[in-house]
Chains A and B, each alone.
Chain A
C-alpha cells in the first residue's frame, strides 16, 4: 500500500469537508473507496451504489485512464498516482 492522491470536483467538495485533494494509502481503486468511506461516508455514497458498484454518472480515472476500460474498482493504483473523480455535470 502506497500513498496516492485523490482529486475531487466542485460538485463533491461539500461531501469531503471542502477538501479538493485527499491523500490515501491504497493499492487499488476499491481500497481508495474503502479508505474514503471511513473518513467521508457521504462522499462514497455518491460514488458507489448500495451494492458497491460505481454509479453510472461518475467516472474514476487513474492518471488519464478511465477505470471502466480497465478492471473497474479492482484497477491497481500505482504509488504516487493521481485518482481523479469526475461526475457528469449538466450546467450550460
Chain B
C-alpha cells in the first residue's frame, strides 16, 4: 500500500514488533511525562520536541527502517512525515499507537513510575525537574492549614488538593450563605446553610480522593490559634477579619510556621509571605507591615464594600503558588515582598516589606 501524499506508511503493532525484532528501530516519540506507564518493549525514547537534535543518535543511517510510536498513532504519523522530509527513506507510523499495542497484548516494559505516587494524576508535575518524584513526595507529605474556606481559601484549597498536597486542614466556623457563592467556589448552591468545612471537605475529597482533608469548625483567636496551627508546614491566611489575622500571625510567629497572607477589597488584593523563622534570613511578620489593625469605623468589610469574585480567586491562587514553593523549597517566595493586584488597572505592584526591629510580635527579646 503506498502512502497518500503528505502521509507516511503505517504498520500494525504486530507487524512493527516483527520488524523491530528483525533490526528496525522502534522509537517512542511521546513526551517524557507520558512514560510512567511504560512503553513498547525494545523502544527507544526520543520525544518529538527534540527529535531533530536526537534522531541521528539512534538512527545514524538514514536508510534504516524507523517505526514510530505515540499514544494513538496521530503524532507518530506527523513525526514520520517530518523525518521523511529530513531524508529518512523508510519511516513508518504504528497505527493505533501504544493504546492498540497494549490492547493487542504485545510486550511492554514495566511501568517505571514510583509505586507510592499516583504517577498518572501527577504526570505533568513529575515532568517538571523542579518537582519530580522527590518533590511530589514532599507535597504528599505536606501539611497545609487554610484559615477560612471562603473567597481566598476556596481556590487555594482546590489547587493544593489537585496538586497532591497530602494533608489539608480547613478552619472555619461559618455556614455557607448564598451571597458567598459568587466567589467561594468550594461550595455549591445545595450547600447553603451547611458548615463550610463540611461542603469544602467534601468538594476537596471528590477532587482528589488520594489526600487527607480535615475540617476544624472553630473561630481562631489568641486563645486557641497555637493549638490549632501546631504541626502545620504552611498556613494560608484567608480570613475575613483583623482579629483572626493578628491571632494567626502571632501563632505562626510563635510556632515558626510561614504564613501566606492574602487579603482583598473590591477590585484589589494583597499577597505576601510572613516568616520570621525562615532559615537563612528572617522575614517580617504581619505586624511588622501593619503595626495595628484599623478601628472598625475605618475598616469597611467586603459585605458593605463588595468584592469582584475573581479578585480573591487570583489572590488565593497566588497564595497556593507560594504554599507549593514553600513545601518544595523552590523559587523565590514573597518573603519580604508584598504584591498588590489591581484588577481594574490590570496591574501588579511590588513593595518591599522589612522586619520592624521593635515589632512586639516578632522582635527578639
Q: Which chain A residue shows the least CB distance to B152?
A: A92
Do B307 and A46 touch across chains, with their CB atoms under 8 A apart? no
Do B300 and A11 touch across chains, with their CB atoms under 8 A apart? yes
Do A64 and B351 touch across chains, with their CB atoms under 8 A apart? yes
Do B352 and A64 touch across chains, with their CB atoms under 8 A apart? yes
A46 → chain B closest CB, angstroms = 6
B159 → chain A closest CB, angstroms = 16
Query: Is B142 engaged at the interface, CB distance under 8 Å to the other chain?
Result: no
* B351 partner, pick from A9, A86, A88, beta carbons under 8 A: A86
Q: How far is the CA of A64 from the CA of B300 in the complex (A)?
A: 26
Scoring A66, A69, A87, A88 by chain B CB atoms within 10 A of each residue's CB, the highest score goes to A88
Query: Is A17 engaged at the interface, CB distance under 8 Å to the other chain?
Result: no
Q: How far is the CA of A11 from the CA of B301 in the complex (A)?
A: 10
Q: Which chain B residue shows the least CB distance to A9?
A: B268
B157 → chain A closest CB, angstroms = 13
Q: Which chain A residue shows the least CB distance to B243?
A: A90
Q: How far is the CA of A20 from the CA of B268 in the complex (A)?
A: 12
* A57 partner, pick from B262, B293, B305, B312, beta carbons under 8 A: B293
Do A11 and B265 touch across chains, with their CB atoms under 8 A apart? yes
Return chain A residues, CB-CB under 8 Å to B245: 90
Give the total of B residues in contact with A, Cβ under 8 Å. Answer: 44
With contacts A90-B263, A92-B150, A92-B262 taken as known, whether A59 is within 8 angstroms of B298 at the C-beta atoms is no
Within 8 A of B (CB), among A69-92: 69, 84, 86-92
Within 8 A of A (CB), among B203-239: 237-239
Do A66 and B354 touch across chains, with their CB atoms under 8 A apart? yes
With contacts A11-B265, A66-B352, A92-B264 taken as known, whether A57 is within 8 angstroms of B148 at the C-beta atoms is no
Do A57 and B298 touch across chains, with their CB atoms under 8 A apart? yes
A8 → chain B closest CB, angstroms = 11
Query: Is B242 engaged at the interface, CB distance under 8 Å to the other chain?
Result: yes
Scoring A9, A10, A55, A90 by chain B CB atoms within 10 A of each residue's CB, the highest score goes to A90
Do A88 and B242 touch across chains, with their CB atoms under 8 A apart? yes
Return chain B residues, CB-CB under 8 Å to A92: 148, 150-153, 237-240, 262-264, 302, 312
Do B294 and A55 touch across chains, with their CB atoms under 8 A apart? yes
Chain A residues at the B interface, C-beta cutoff of 8 Å: 9-11, 20, 46, 55-57, 59, 61, 64-66, 68-69, 84, 86-92
Given A89-B264, A92-B151, 10 additional A-B pairs, CB 8 A: A10-B305, A66-B353, A66-B354, A84-B340, A86-B338, A88-B242, A88-B294, A89-B265, A90-B240, A91-B151
Could you jot down 28 A-B contacts, CB within 8 Å?
A: A9-B265, A10-B265, A10-B267, A20-B345, A46-B298, A55-B294, A56-B290, A57-B291, A57-B292, A57-B299, A61-B352, A64-B351, A64-B352, A66-B352, A66-B353, A86-B338, A87-B294, A88-B242, A89-B265, A90-B240, A90-B293, A91-B151, A91-B263, A91-B302, A92-B148, A92-B238, A92-B263, A92-B264
